Amino acid sequence: MRISYLARLVVNPGSPGRLRLRGSRELRRRGNERSQALRSLDIHGGTSHLERMPQRTRILLTYAIGIALLWVLVFWLRHLFPSSEYLKSFPSSKTSSSLISPTSLTSPTTPPVTPQNTPPSSEGSTPEARVEAYIREWHAAWLQSAKPHLNTMLALSMPQKDGSSPGIKDFMKLQEGWNQIIRGVQKRHSSVSHEDFSDLESSMGHPPSHAPGGEVVTKVHVESNGATVTTRLGDSPPEFNVYQLTKGNGSWYIRSIDRFFSDETEAAFTDEERTAILAKVTPDAALPELKPGAAPNCDRLFTEGRKVTFLNKEHTLHVHSGGMLSVPSGVLGVHHLGAFPEEMRPLTLRITPGDHACEYAEVDGTVAAARLLLDKSSPAVTYRPAHALEAEDNEASVNHGNVAVFDAAAFMQVSKRAHEEHFQHDYVDHVLAPGSHPENPTPIRLGNPPSGKTNCLVISMDGGCLCYWGLDASGKPVSLILDFLVIAEQLKDRCKLPWPPVSDGPSLTHPTLQSHQTSIHLGKEGGRVTFQVKGDDFFRAIWRSANGSMVADTDGMGFVDTGAAVTYTFQEGMLDKATEIEVELHAGHRN
């Protein structure tokens, strides 16, 4: 099974120009408000259905939502940039009167169009002929059954003013109708069942996922009854499809399709870059002090049988073995596995080369923390933030649903394409395999480590991650801890001010806000009130009525985060019943 890589990038943006939410404010949102969001799904106090799902189901749901978001993004861009050269070939809204109803696509009355210029007897004569035939037939199906209905999809996907999406059911019917058509195309070009040959890049959006002339065969490799055909799509940036084929009954058939976003020869780091970066990692690197209010107490994260609170319920903490990690270079990295490996920077402290045991703490099927044991003979008594080179804090990059700990030298030697292949085949396929346990770290062999050795462990995670060195009484590093803030107690400072502001003008002022270097500015924009916050320690604001009941809070408002500030917006009159505003500020955390 293949998961749409593009969908993963939508869920976890990672390309240049993307919205990249960084810093302690967003870390707390990911690690902290995750539980608030899950609890909000059941306001009556019951357990959220999402949280009670098996982790494998949650992962599949996440990727499915990503595909849906990709659809909405394409249609939304069409409305925002109608004059864009890239979107000029999109169907005009003037054609909306000729669009068919959702049910006519759900139950197609005509089969997919088969190109007339490709005799059936020749389309499987060579691997490239089979691939080109599939591209032509897929594109013909798109022209007939998808392109005419793009405006319908756009209309159905747009939310109403009240935030509801009444057209989502018809949207899904249209999508399922398209899926049925494409399954027929796939099955005709495959020697296996269409469930196994899954071209999940087959979006009915625009531009089409496959198009003659737009997708060009660049490489063909044949071995006995197997073959690999590589195609290139576009140039800015290019994308690559890799078709695996098998030969049977004298004809070639497609077995699988993978899409990649890097050329197979593109290096993540040049030799010069790798050498220069690794040289900066030293065994005597200075370790920063803990920030005020931080009390990681990492030893408590690995106390077997300890009772902890998770999602407002008491659970038992369990500690499991996570396997062995081989670090022959003595340089560790903590970063997500997937796209943009060139963003990785190793941790500043060089450790003793060798094989080190890993263990992880689990609460109700969710990983709470992981630990790499560098020296079992001496316990950790103090903890220091573990920074990566060039990093401002000890936050690790959690993206594409995972975070990994690995030998950084091996990580940097692997090409960009190889990173994508490791992610798709070694990680995603492993996590989604029947009988797998996604909470267990996934072992991956980057490059060519010695036989039986694993130099990368990947943990399924969708929240935040803080890294700490565990030091013994002599100051020697004996462990590396990854705290996912799942069971951490968040400490807060609070201040209350009258609402609406009496004399402070467009800004709210209070000694507590000043001590946290947080500023709040009010404004008006198009009949809406804006509430702009600057400062990493802001957690949320709550408006209360005269009797103390909550009128609204920022968790329920739309917002835009530019990195420098977060701006919330709400309708005028929404807070007419409020007499007080309470601002909550992050004051550290403890385990």
> Of 20-34, 91-105, 289-303, 353-367, which has the strongest mean pLDDT?
353-367
pLDDT score of 10 more than 80? no
pLDDT score of 1 more than 70? no
Average pLDDT of 144-170?
Answer: 78
The closest of 457, 546, 452 to 498, measured between CA atoms, is: 546
Tokens 């009159």 -> residue: 573
Q: What is the model's pLDDT at position 195?
A: 52
Q: What is the model's pLDDT at position 572?
A: 78
Name which of 92-96, 112-116, 277-281, 388-392 the model is least confident about: 92-96
> Of 108-117, 267-276, 514-523, which has the strongest mean pLDDT?
267-276
Q: What is the model's pLDDT at position 352?
A: 95
Give the CA distances from residue 52 to residues 48, 216, 285, 311, 364, in Å, rounded to whole numbers and listed in that order: 6, 45, 43, 11, 9
The closest of 59, 10, 61, 65 to 442, measured between CA atoms, is: 59
pLDDT score of 369 more than 90? yes
Q: What is the model's pLDDT at position 162?
A: 60
In tens, the pLDDT along 197-237 reads 666 556 777 888 899 999 999 999 999 889 999 999 988 78
Q: What is the DSSP code string of 314-354?
A: EEE-EEEEEEEEEETTS-EEEE-SSS-GGG---BSB----E
Domains of the chain: 127-260 (3.10.450), 271-487 (no CATH), 490-590 (no CATH)
> pLDDT-based confidence at 161, cuts 50/70/90?
low
> pLDDT-based confidence at 278, cuts 50/70/90?
very high
pLDDT score of 28 more than 50? no
Residue 290 burial by Cβ neighbours in a 10 Å radius (0-12, 13-18, 19+): middle
Q: What is the model's pLDDT at position 157?
A: 75
> pLDDT-based confidence at 324, cuts 50/70/90?
very high
| CB 118, CB 212: distance < 8 Å | no
pLDDT score of 370 more than 70? yes
- C-alpha dihedral over 441, 442, 446, 448, to 10 degrees? 110
Average pLDDT of 372-387?
Answer: 95
Threshold 0.75, pTM exceeds: no
pLDDT score of 8 more than 70? no
> pLDDT-based confidence at 587, cuts 50/70/90?
confident
pLDDT score of 117 more than 60? no
Average pLDDT of 537-564?
Answer: 91
Q: Which helix (H) or strand (E) holds 186?
A: helix 168-188
Pairing of strands 466-471, 382-385: antiparallel
Average pLDDT of 26-42?
Answer: 32
Average pLDDT in the chain = 80
In tens, the pLDDT along 465-524 reads 999 999 999 999 999 999 999 999 888 999 999 988 765 567 898 999 999 999 999 988
- pLDDT > 90 fraction of the chain, expressed in percent and rounded: 52
pLDDT score of 446 more than 90? yes
| CB 344, CB 336: distance < 8 Å | no
Task: Check residues 159 and 64 and name the one with the higher pLDDT.
Answer: 159
pLDDT score of 109 more than 50? no
Average pLDDT of 436-463?
Answer: 92
List strand residue ranges (DSSP E) for 445-526, in order: 456-460, 466-471, 477-483, 489-498, 507-508, 519-525
Average pLDDT of 384-391?
Answer: 96
pLDDT score of 263 more than 50? yes
Average pLDDT of 424-428?
Answer: 93
